[in-house]
Chains A and B, each alone.
Chain A
Amino acid sequence: MQVNDNKDFQPTIVAFCCNWCSYAGADLSGTNRLNYPTNVKIIRVPCSCRVNPMFILRAFQRGADGVIICGCHPGDCHYTSGNYYARRRMTLLFSMLDYLGIERDRTRVEWVSAAEGQKFAKTMNEFTEAVRKLGPNRRLEDLRCRKQ
């Protein structure tokens, strides 16, 4: 695994956040004046199981260096079982990305409830730092989308 020496590198992180929990959790961390990196771009989804594997690859294509999916804790899904399906899908997808040699720390799933503003900020800080160490995404990038 290569470690990026460039201290100035600012990764782009895409966070898919469930409308019913982590999106509100992000809001809470904001109203609590907690810091989390501006690298994180939040995309609101109605449920973590709305995240199609293609969304994740598409995010990498368009220049994301890391993708994190946040959903309700298992058992707390607004639609009863969406996050259980998402859990299986994402496990298999991440395993496949790992199999193809894509750095495994570029993807993550985290369960964050609407009351866990602190956890949201902490998760984003940790994840951004992990991706920053990995350096820019080169293995899953689309040259045509690279910023000039």
Chain B
Amino acid sequence: MQEAMISKAKALLADGTVTRVIGWKRGEFVYDVTPAVFESAQELDEGFVYDDFTAANVSKYLIKESRKEGKILCFLKPCDTYSFNQLIKEHRIIRENVYIVGIPSDGKLDAEKIKSKGITGILSAQRDGDTVKVETLYGIETLPLADAMLEKCLSCKSKKHVIYDELIGEDGEVIDSDRFDMVEKLENMTAEERFEFWRSELSKCIRCNACRNVCPACSCEKCVFDNPQSGVENKAPADSFEENMFHIIRAFHVAGRCTDCGECSRVCPQNIPLHLLNRKFIKDINSLYGEYQAGEDTTSRSPLTNYDTEDCEPKIVHERGVE
């Protein structure tokens, strides 16, 4: 795959279709693959990486990159195309300045998950059917694919590219996923249990703001949480309010625009399942205001900038579910 992408990028650079390529380069460790911009064939040969650890969604970078001179080439996985489309809808990306090559994705690996199995010193990982062979400093370890895959990929919602100029490989289909299962499980707990669950998760938060910074929907120039007057701009040592406030508001600000790309949970250094907050909003919107998938198209109105005179009353929250 990597070779096909490099040769595609070189061809497009050579014929002048694009002047830059946004892809990924290796970080300090083999699993630290970070987005990077390449400007020549030589740079591509030296640094371009695309492997099973390349999970980063580059859509958000295109907000700035598409405003620079010249066209930029980007490689988007199916889930990334939803974020891209949503940003087009919000007039954040200049479409004419981006050339999109859609690439298929059959799920990415999660280094944190592999490490949590006690496997350290990872040198490389090879997928082989339902297992993953991890080469480490201390020898070769084999583990089931489900134990090494990113949570977001295990409940993938779509293999279909919603926007592209060109595709490498075949386009897939929208998948009927089980992504709301955990939300439902939580909803069926008592309020006490839910509170305990979220306290144990959110209290791990160190307010590094990584979830906000990586989120393609969080693209405000100025964020409410950067305001030093807000009282919640950073972590207080002995209080729970910040975390509650930050995570409720963060999820609320992207409600109706979140495409469920799962980046928030992927980057969280404390492994908080943040996507469960976003999915709750998506599930509520789907059940109360009709099925809606953000980023699916660029024309429909988002549920929170729209209304119906027959909408349910807020009381519905008091009437349904477990107390």
- Partner-B contacts on A (CB < 8 A): 1, 53-54, 57, 61, 74-75, 81, 84-85, 87-105, 108-109, 139-144
Size of the B side of the interface (Cβ < 8 Å), in residues, is 47
The segment from B25-33, B98-106, B110-118, B303-311 found at the interface with A is: B303-311
Q: Is the CB of A96 within 8 A of B281?
A: yes
Distance from B143 Cβ to chain A, minimum over Cβ atoms (Å): 33
List B contacts of A104 (CB < 8 A). Answer: 191, 317-318, 323
Top 5 nearest A-B pairs by Cβ distance?
A101-B195, A84-B307, A101-B194, A142-B241, A109-B314
Distance from B301 Cβ to chain A, minimum over Cβ atoms (Å): 12
Q: Evaluate whether A101 and B239 lie within 8 angstroms (CB atoms) in the complex, with A91-B288, A92-B285, A95-B317 already known.
A: no
Distance from B238 Cβ to chain A, minimum over Cβ atoms (Å): 7
Q: Is the CB of A88 within 8 A of B303?
A: yes
Q: Evaluate whether A100 and B244 lie within 8 angstroms (CB atoms) in the complex, with A88-B303, A94-B317 already known.
A: yes
List A contacts of B313 (CB < 8 A). Answer: 87, 91, 109
For residue A97, which residue of chain B has the nearest CB? B248
Q: How far is the CA of A63 from the CA of B196 in the complex (A)?
A: 21
Q: Evaluate whether A92 and B281 lie within 8 angstroms (CB atoms) in the complex, with A53-B249, A104-B323 already known.
A: yes
Distance from B188 Cβ to chain A, minimum over Cβ atoms (Å): 11
List A contacts of B196 (CB < 8 A). Answer: 101
For residue B287, which residue of chain A has the nearest CB? A95
Pairs A–B under 8 Å by Cβ, sample size 13:
A54-B249, A84-B307, A87-B307, A91-B316, A92-B255, A92-B304, A99-B194, A101-B197, A101-B199, A139-B195, A141-B241, A143-B239, A143-B241
Whether a CB of chain A sits under 8 angstroms from the CB of B297 is no
Whether a CB of chain A sits under 8 angstroms from the CB of B289 is yes
Whether a CB of chain A sits under 8 angstroms from the CB of B284 is yes
Whether a CB of chain A sits under 8 angstroms from the CB of B16 is no
Q: Is the CB of B239 within 8 A of A142?
A: yes
- Partner-A contacts on B (CB < 8 A): 186-187, 191-199, 224, 231, 236, 238-239, 241, 244-245, 248-249, 251-252, 255, 277, 280-281, 284-285, 288-289, 303-305, 307-309, 311-318, 321, 323
List B contacts of A95 (CB < 8 A). Answer: 280, 284, 317
List B contacts of A85 (CB < 8 A). Answer: 304-305, 307
Q: How far is the CA of A49 from the CA of B15 in the complex (A)?
A: 53
List B contacts of A84 (CB < 8 A). Answer: 307-309, 311
Distance from B186 Cβ to chain A, minimum over Cβ atoms (Å): 7
Central interface residue in A98, A104, A139, by most chain B CB within 10 Å: A98
Q: How far is the CA of A53 from the CA of B239 in the complex (A)?
A: 20
Q: Is the CB of B241 within 8 A of A61?
A: yes
Q: Is the CB of B309 within 8 A of A53?
A: no
Distance from B80 Cβ to chain A, minimum over Cβ atoms (Å): 26
Q: Is the CB of B249 within 8 A of A57?
A: yes
List B contacts of A101 (CB < 8 A). Answer: 191-199
List A contacts of B238 (CB < 8 A). Answer: 143
List B contacts of A98 (CB < 8 A). Answer: 191, 317, 321
For residue B277, which residue of chain A has the nearest CB? A96
Q: How far is the CA of A120 from the CA of B186 in the complex (A)?
A: 35
List B contacts of A139 (CB < 8 A). Answer: 195
Since A96-B284, A99-B186, A104-B317 are in contact, a sample of 18 more A-B pairs with Cβ atoms closer than 8 Å, ordered by chain A residue number, is A54-B245, A61-B231, A84-B308, A85-B305, A85-B307, A88-B289, A95-B284, A95-B317, A96-B277, A99-B194, A100-B194, A100-B244, A100-B248, A101-B192, A102-B195, A139-B195, A143-B239, A144-B236
List A contacts of B245 (CB < 8 A). Answer: 54, 57, 61
